[in-house]
Structure 1
Amino acid sequence: MQQNSAHNPTQNPATLASAQAALSFKNLHLELGKKTILRNVSAQFNYGQLTVLLGPNGTGKSSLLKVITQELPIRGEVFFNQKTVQNWCSRALAKQVGVLPQSSSLVFNFSAQEVVELGGIALDCANAEIQHLAKQNMQRTDTQHLATRSYPSLSGGEKQRVHFARVLTQLEQSGAKKVLLLDEPTAALDLSHQHQTLTLAKQLAEQGAAVVIVMHDLNLAAQYADRVMILNNANIVADGTPWEVLTEDNIEQVYQCKTRVIAHPDLGYPMVISAI
């Protein structure tokens, strides 16, 4: 189904390649055991753009983020602001690129605010300022009421929002040109906090950040993304605006599931509904 262009809030696909690249990568190849996870993948993520990575389980979405942040060994090149990440000082890079993983292995009995304050380790400011920034970012993520709670006692969704506040604190000295890599940030959240988290991510992109989100919910991706990239069979198989990428043919080919794609009656973004 074609979208009415009057309802299209996303960026023109022609601007994707011309936009200023925050992160780019060339010929990334990753193998884990005998399985090829990424096969010579090349792309870029741009400032001022919220990109959602979609694809079935096990197709390399989270692995791509781990490759970019050098958590996994790869063949290929990764660049931040046109310079290979290996040539960046780790402290300087930490002020510019924030990563929210799917889950955290943190088990120490820190309070929630102390976890958020960990984001200030690389900042050039006093402890009192870090505490102030942490409180501000806990308000932005609706976690201020959890400040004195023991982190291990929090629910999965509460922990995820606390870590989002930590990432925001980490990037406080980056200015508008920051990079956020968020791996399934809404997976453990209730409906209200899903939209709150994605609204905040969207605002950061509108202010100039490059935001990359791994997600499984096609409708949330359609609502908030400027750009959607689908990974499947170790490659990028679709890349463009939500209306270009979230077609019935693409969804059936990638997910082996029949759907209908219609325009949201009020907001105009594509809505994916089951046709089974």
Structure 2
Amino acid sequence: MNTLPRLRRWISAAVAPLSRPPALPVRAATGTEAVRAEGVTVRRGGRALLNGVDLTVRAGELLALVGPNGAGKSTLLAALSGDVAGGPARGEADEGAVLLFDRPLPEWTPPQLALRRAVLPQEASVSFPFSVAELVAMGRAPWAGLCSPGADDAAVAAAMDGTGVAHLAGRRFSTLSGGERARVMLARVLAQDTQVLMLDEPTAALDIGHQELVLSIARQISEDGGAVIVVLHDLGLAAAYAHRVAILSGGRIAAQGAPADVFTESLLGNVYQHEVEVLPHPRTGVPLVVPLR
């Protein structure tokens, strides 16, 4: 891609002040604890957005965070990533601890974190007229000085091909539709190539086919040994793709486990304050959650 050399020079200039690049991450074995939250509490404006949350995610697992609006899903994802808006220095939770590969988040430097976990926020703004290829290539910034230009190019190409945005490479990001922008931003975090992937409502702007594509990608990453945490509103997608779900309500985890175990009519009806039916899919047996109308 002829846009990448320019981005490569920009990245090199950005990391030049660093005395030396961080050490390459060692990939953890499947089943290894990747992220752990211990009693995480986040308060803002006198209100507890999260209250004593305990959660563990392992390599090889896709965990879906679900729950009604305001339940604390995005706040929990931000706490797990070390980026709690308006919180203490370096994104620490107000109380409790978050560990990444058994090491507290504050003990990781930003460059070290960027090589180990990638985060797709719910909303992302781009202030400059970057092309799609340039924007996706920015995901390679943490790897500056650690791999060859060929490896960078291959990672960017694979991320764009996988998300179906390769044909948009030369387009300006600002000219894209909402769904196209969402897939480009996903491609950027995929190009970052980390073992832990955190996605905040990645399917919100997508049609059915692209929702399935995104969750298929997330599931495959987990099957390949990654640890994936994804915030979802669609309980059907969560049931179909997640190994485990954590249902949040009022800043607490109301239940967590396999979708077939925790997606019950009584629990979901209580959490969402709306009666539902939970039926097995006639072919796969995956729970289907249907609101009563």
Fold similarity call, TM over 0.5: yes
Partner of 1:93: 113
Partner of 2:51: 39
Q: Is the 8 A contact 2:70 2:250 kept in 1?
A: no
Partner of 2:131: 111
Deviations 1:66-109 (A, max 9, x none): 11222222221110111111112321221110101111021210
One-letter code of the match for 1:53?
A: L
Partner of 1:24: 36
Partner of 1:131: 153
One-letter code of the match for 2:192?
A: Q
Which whole-Å CA distance do the structure 1 matches of 2:254 and 2:261 have between them? 12
Q: Is the 8 A contact 1:38 1:235 kept in 2?
A: yes
Q: Is the 8 A contact 1:232 1:254 kept in 2?
A: yes
1:63 match: secondary structure: helix
Partner of 1:205: 222
Partner of 2:163: 141
Deviation at 1:243, TM superposition (A): 1.0
Q: Is the 8 A contact 1:31 1:38 kept in 2?
A: yes
Deviation at 1:134, TM superposition (A): 0.8
Which whole-Å CA distance do the structure 1 matches of 2:154 and 2:228 have between them? 24
One-letter code of the match for 2:63?
A: T
Report the aligned-residue RMSD: 1.4
Partner of 1:71: 83
Q: Is the 8 A contact 1:107 1:152 kept in 2?
A: no
Partner of 1:192: 209
Which whole-Å CA distance do the structure 2 matches of 1:200 and 1:68 have between them? 21
Deviation at 1:19, TM superposition (A): 4.3
2:189 to 164, 167, 191: 167
Deviations 1:212-267 (A, max 9, x none): 10000011111111101001011000101001111000111001111111110111
Partner of 1:158: 180
* 1:247 has 2:269 as partner: no
Partner of 1:180: 197
Partner of 2:14: none
Deviation at 1:128, TM superposition (A): 4.6
Q: More deviation in 254-263 or 127-136?
A: 127-136
**Runs of 4+ displaced beyond 4 Å:** none
Partner of 1:10: none
One-letter code of the match for 1:264?
A: H
Partner of 2:140: 120
Deviation at 1:25, TM superposition (A): 1.2
Assess, with a 3 A threshold, how the Cα gap between structure 1 residues 19 and 129 changes in structure 2: closer, same or farther.
Answer: closer
State the TM-score, normalizing by the size of structure 2: 0.84
Partner of 1:82: 102
Return 5+ residue gaps in structure 1 as ranges. 1-17
2:288 match: secondary structure: strand
Return 5+ residue gaps in structure 2 as ranges. 1-29, 88-92
Which whole-Å CA distance do the structure 1 matches of 2:128 and 2:214 have between them? 25
Which whole-Å CA distance do the structure 2 matches of 1:81 and 1:234 have between them? 24
1:121 match: secondary structure: helix
Equivalence map 1:212-223=2 (5 Å): 212-223=229-240
Deviations 1:31-81 (A, max 9, x none): 111221011111111111111000110111001111122222222111011
Q: Is the 8 A contact 2:40 2:54 kept in 1?
A: yes
Q: How many residues align?
A: 254
Deviation at 1:192, TM superposition (A): 0.5
Partner of 1:52: 64
